[in-house]
Amino acid sequence: MRAQASGRRRTAAAAVAMTVALVMPGCGGNGSKGSGDTSEVEVFSWWTGPGEADGLAAMKADFEKKNPGTKFTNAAIAGGSGTQAQAVLASRLQNRKPPDSFQGHAGAELLDYIKAGQIEPLDSFYDENRLRAAYPGQLLQQITYQGKIYSVPVNIHRSNMLWYDPGILKDAGVSAPPRSIAEFIAALKAVKDKTGKVPLSLGAQWTADHLLENVLLGDLGTDAYNALWKPGADWGSPAVGKALADFAEIMRYTTLEAASTDWQGAAKAVVDGKAAFNIMGDWAYGYFTGSAPNGLGKKAGTDFAYAPSPGTDGTYMWLSDSFTLPKGAPHRGGALAWLKEASSKEGQDLFNPRKGSIPARKDADKTLYKGYLEYALNEWNRPGVKLAGSFWHGVNAGKRQHTDIDTAVGLFLQNKDVGKLQAALAGAAKNSGP
């Protein structure tokens, strides 16, 4: 997920909540029976960067060891979070030349493929490999569409993370990271009044969309936030209006020049001591701590610290890379063998420490995950943790709604009119449709 902003904007485009029941032709199949050709498997992804490419190579080696008669073809295409890869994939699928398996964000992002009859459900595969017990029940519930599961999650990223400079907070008289939206606004004001530093760093417009989902979750709570992505959701409610007013207030403490800055620049402002706070997904941790030239070589606890974004402690706003079984896969047996690798404990433990994410499975080898990853893994598996899908990163907003939200936020950044923003968001939900 450590991606270019443009890539994240495009690849995060998704579809309506996965629990919506729609009647669609061509969505049958069982994803397991009739295994087919196992001579080869072409795996299509956008994992070409540092860390992710290393993780894919490790899974590939394990796959080849377990499947010595199957040739592995790595069809990865470079481009931030799949910008180029998804364009190539769309062309291949339209021309009925699918790869054997392709990467996609688990959740609503896959609905376009489902509606087009381009991927198979994997329920039999899950049953035969006992995966329903291996993955958290809440996760399976959130990626189930019309009673069926269409992908195999490989990892989990967390969207609701607050990154901050402890020194600036100390100078501002802020004793701890804010735990509520109200505390956050107070802390932003203190930073501005007492330090002269940037209270909250933002990047390109999509980072404002990312901030919006965090403010909505922080103010509304998990259940009410999740309800926003269901049919008939009330985006015109006073509670949503209050959250949007808080969003507007928070935006007052961001930098005006940030619109031309990518997420990396906004995050870097924190570890450089120029900004107090940044709200970004946990791919920022890999950027902070990674080695040069792609990482900053910073240390948690010294150069930066982290906490759940304000008001969201106990909730994991998630997104996930996953793999699918395309209809008409040339080497269907090879594809199923790859999905078995991607869903396995061994495969996920080989991939994720290198990628800088945590496994989607519940039975990971915890000794492999250090620093923030240890914290994230414990949080993901914490009893009673609640899950909320990231609308901006592919989980629970329809493609049309996703675009309409981004348009509404863009207009708000110009006119600062909360009423118009709420009306536009309500219209986006009403017009999203299947």
Contact in structure between 392 and 213 (CB atoms under 8 Å): yes
How far apart CA 92 and CA 415 sit, in angstroms, is 41
Same fold, 5-157+321-383 and 161-317+395-430: yes
- CB atoms under 10 Å from CB of 235, counted, come to 18
Whether pLDDT at 28 is above 50: no
Length of the chain: 434
CATH number of 5-157+321-383: 3.40.190.10
- In 3D space, the residue among 80, 102, 86, 114 whose CA is nearest the CA of residue 8 turns out to be 80
How far apart CA 297 and CA 288 sit, in angstroms, is 6
pLDDT of residue 292: 79
Which helix (H) or strand (E) segment is 325 a member of? none
Whether pLDDT at 263 is above 50: yes
Q: What's the mean per-residue pLDDT of the chain?
A: 88
Q: Average of pLDDT values for 411-427?
A: 97
Under CATH, to which class is 161-317+395-430 assigned?
alpha beta
In the chain, pLDDT over 70 holds for what percent of residues? 89
Contacts of 7 (CB under 8 A, 6+ apart): 46, 79, 80, 81, 82, 83
- In 3D space, the residue among 156, 141, 24, 9 whose CA is nearest the CA of residue 79 turns out to be 9
Query: Between 294 and 75, whose confidence is greater?
Result: 75
Question: Which residue ranges make up each domain of the chain?
Answer: 5-157+321-383, 161-317+395-430
Question: What pTM was computed for the model?
Answer: 0.83
Whether pLDDT at 14 is above 80: no
65: three-class secondary structure by DSSP: helix
Q: Which of the four pLDDT bands, split at 50, 70 and 90, describes residue 264?
A: confident
**359 has which bridge partners?**
155
Q: Average of pLDDT values for 350-356?
A: 90
Q: pLDDT tens-digit profile of 216-227? A: 999 999 999 999
What the block records as the tokens of 7 is 């890539």
Lowest mean pLDDT among 31-35, 81-85, 129-133: 31-35
